[in-house]
Amino acid sequence: MKLSEICEKLGIAYNGEEREIAGLNALQEAGQDEVSFLENPKYASQLSATNAAAVLVTASMAQQLPAHSIPLIVDEPYIVLAKASAFFAPQRLEHDLPETAVGEGTVIEEGAFVAKGSRIGANCHIMPGVFIGNNVTIGDNTILYPNVTVYRDCVIGRDCIIHAGTVIGSDGFGFATTKLGEHIKIYQNGNVVIEDDVEIGSNTTIDRAVFKSTVIKKGVRIDNLVQVGHNCVIGEFSVLVSQVGLAGSSRLGRNVVMGGQSATAGHLSIAPFTTIAARGGVTKNVDKGGVYGGFPLMEHKLWLKLQGKLARLLKA
């Protein structure tokens, strides 16, 4: 989409150089064909390093942009970003794409719906009630149990097992709230990438990224009723026990274990080989592997000690 067209739709006066824009992206990730935004003055220092073609910013921050980035000056950049996100949302379900390629030995059972333009490997089993959207890639030997939904553009590796009712690639929980308290949807134009040898339980939800990808790395094990928010990255061989909730942009290293009903706040990272005990609430980055628990989070042995102190307080 042409930059001039984007500006016109958003009501931004723009008579500068024309550029072809492929999509939206975060300031630090945006390429030369992408538009970005900055709302929070706290991150203004990131402006100078962006590669974005254009950036939605307030007037006061516009000067900090490098010469190759065009400032698109608006009062509320995040609200305008939300509006712009709709321009790049793909069609939910296209019927005029090439036939989906299906590998040898793959069985697609009656009652499964496989949209066009996808690629399914060899020896897969797609069970009844499964929905696979457009432009999905699935590797060899992967099994989708009944009533699994895979939204368009997602990627699933080989040797994966996804149990019944699980949803891969639904929209992340993203919106900009106006001063009047109304919410404007931020279209989630990224996807989910699941690497090889991942098993996911039943009725779990893994949201697609707002930009780029939510990533589940190889060998991960996810139990039932787990929530993985948009843009999370789950490291190799990590284990998420039932009812875990990962807020958006959580980053787990390899072999992290999250106990039942544990959770993270958003935008936090957890070091490799960390265990979060059941019910633990991760409220800050975990920079060093170990065993943690409690809410707010602490070393698990401190949590146990705290329970001892509370038991004594109770008797006092």
Site for a second copy in 175-214 (CB under 8 A): 175, 177, 181-183, 185, 199, 201-205, 207
239 binds a second copy (CB under 8 A): yes
Among 172, 102, 104, 88, which Cα is nearest to 137's? 102
> Judged by CB under 8 A, which of 103, 116, 173, 271 binds a second copy?
173
CB of 77 to a second copy, least distance (A): 20
CB of 153 to a second copy, least distance (A): 14
* Nearer of residues 137 and 242 to a second copy, judged by Cβ: 242
Tell me how far apart the alpha carbons of residues 316 and 163 are, in angstroms, rounded to a whole number.
50
Q: How far is CA 309 from CA 121, 244, 302, 304, in A?
A: 57, 28, 10, 9
> Judged by CB under 8 A, which of 37, 78, 151, 292 binds a second copy?
151
Site for a second copy in 86-145 (CB under 8 A): 92-93, 109-111, 113, 125, 127-129, 131, 143, 145
> Judged by CB under 8 A, which of 88, 170, 196, 271 binds a second copy?
170
Task: Pull the structure tokens for residue 45.
Answer: 């220092």
Tell me how far apart the alpha carbons of residues 104 and 102 are, in angstroms, rounded to a whole number.
7
Tell me how far apart the alpha carbons of residues 311 and 124 are, in angstroms, rounded to a whole number.
54
41 binds a second copy (CB under 8 A): no
From 32-40, 46-54, 116-124, 170-178, give the range in contact with a second copy by CB under 8 A. 170-178
CA angle 301, 307, 309 (to 5 degrees): 105
* Nearer of residues 55 and 228 to a second copy, judged by Cβ: 228
CB burial string 150-179: b at 16+ within 10 A, e below: bbbbbbbbbbbbbbbbbbbbebbebebeee
Active site residues: 230
224 binds a second copy (CB under 8 A): yes
Tell me how far apart the alpha carbons of residues 59 and 26 are, in angstroms, rounded to a whole number.
19
* Number of residues near a second copy (by CB under 8 A): 73
Tell me how far apart the alpha carbons of residues 306 and 230 are, in angstroms, rounded to a whole number.
34
CB of 17 to a second copy, least distance (A): 36
Site for a second copy in 248-267 (CB under 8 A): 254-255, 260-261, 263, 265
Site for a second copy in 270-289 (CB under 8 A): 278-279, 281
**How far, in whole angstroms, is CA 287 from its chain's centroid?**
22
> Judged by CB under 8 A, which of 247, 258, 268, 276 binds a second copy?
247
CB of 15 to a second copy, least distance (A): 34
Q: Which residues pair with 199 in a beta bridge?
A: 161, 221
CB of 33 to a second copy, least distance (A): 28
CB of 200 to a second copy, least distance (A): 10
User: In this structure, what are the phi and psi dihedrals at residue 213, rounded to the nearest 5 degrees?
Assistant: -135, 140
Among 166, 143, 146, which Cα is nearest to 156's? 143
310 binds a second copy (CB under 8 A): yes
* Nearer of residues 37 and 151 to a second copy, judged by Cβ: 151
